[in-house]
Chain A
Amino acid sequence: MKLHLFSGLLAAALTLSTLPSQAIEVGQVAPAFELPARQGLLKSSDLKGRVVYLDFWASWCGPCKQSFPWMNEMNARYASKGLRIVGVNLDEKSQDANLFLGDNPASFDIAFDAKAVTPRQYGVKGMPTSLLIGPDGKVLMVHTGFKPTQRSELEQQIRQALNVKD
């Protein structure tokens, strides 16, 4: 009897110690953050009331590189309609990020999270991961990876979030 109780407790303790982090899902409130950006600090509270396209990227990631021209295009097209694009860099060395940004200029906001706090909060499962966050701070879309063929589909999601009619 004692042995049963003992082994049961041990099993429970071992199970609890291996729980993985949870990914953010559509409808949940996006976790708040405060990150160093190219100009000063970028706070999630500053983004309230705007549709935010939050993109987690790194310099070594091929699809991230492909997504940059597209994000520039989206920024040019929809910034005036209320879209704010934030690219969160996850490189451990800021030098890598700066080299990448030299080759791939970004017209949108870039924040740096070398300690990888935000990807843990958001449960990033792949690179790049992008989220669309509504003006109320709730997540509208979670997308992993970037393929050039998905461009129009992603743009459609942005248009829908911004309520842009053709």
Chain B
Amino acid sequence: MRKPNTLLLMSSVFTVSLLLGGCSSLAPVNPWEKGDLAKPEMTFEGDPLEGRFVQHIYTSKESSSGGYGVGGGGCGCN
């Protein structure tokens, strides 16, 4: 077996860490920056009324409700 090249190993570890470190600058969206996410067109459901019907039928069948998140896209407040 060949002896591992320490210099090569160290430099590759360094490069990979630096590249991964770049991901840390992807800061999460701040609460006050969620204006676009709060728009109605950002919801998963198409029609809000239909969505409520579906949710109502589902919760009736399951005899429990809640835990399906919040409406209004990604704002988390609407």
Contact = CB atoms under 8 A, between A and B. Distances in A.
Interface string A129-165: 1000000000000000100000000000000000000
Given A18-B24, A61-B75, A126 B13 contact: no
Interface in B3-26: 6, 10, 13-14, 17, 20-21, 24-25
A124 B77 contact: no
B14 to A, nearest CB: 7
Contacts of B30: 116, 119-120, 124
B32 A90 contact: yes
Interface in B33-57: 33-35, 38-39
Interface residues of A, number: 30
Given A61-B38, A91-B35, A127 B17 contact: no
Q: Interface size class for chain B?
A: 20 to 34
Given A14-B21, A125-B31, A60 B13 contact: no
Interface string A61-105: 111100000000000000000000000001110001000000000
A14 B32 contact: no
B36 to A, nearest CB: 8
A66 to B, nearest CB: 10
A24 to B, nearest CB: 14
B78 interface: yes
30 contacts: A3-B6, A6-B10, A13-B21, A14-B20, A14-B24, A17-B25, A56-B32, A58-B32, A58-B35, A59-B35, A60-B35, A60-B38, A61-B38, A61-B75, A62-B72, A63-B77, A64-B77, A90-B32, A91-B35, A116-B33, A119-B31, A119-B32, A124-B30, A125-B31, A126-B77, A127-B32, A127-B34, A127-B75, A128-B77, A145-B77
Interface of A: 3, 6-7, 10, 13-14, 17-18, 56, 58-64, 90-92, 96, 116, 119-120, 124-129, 145
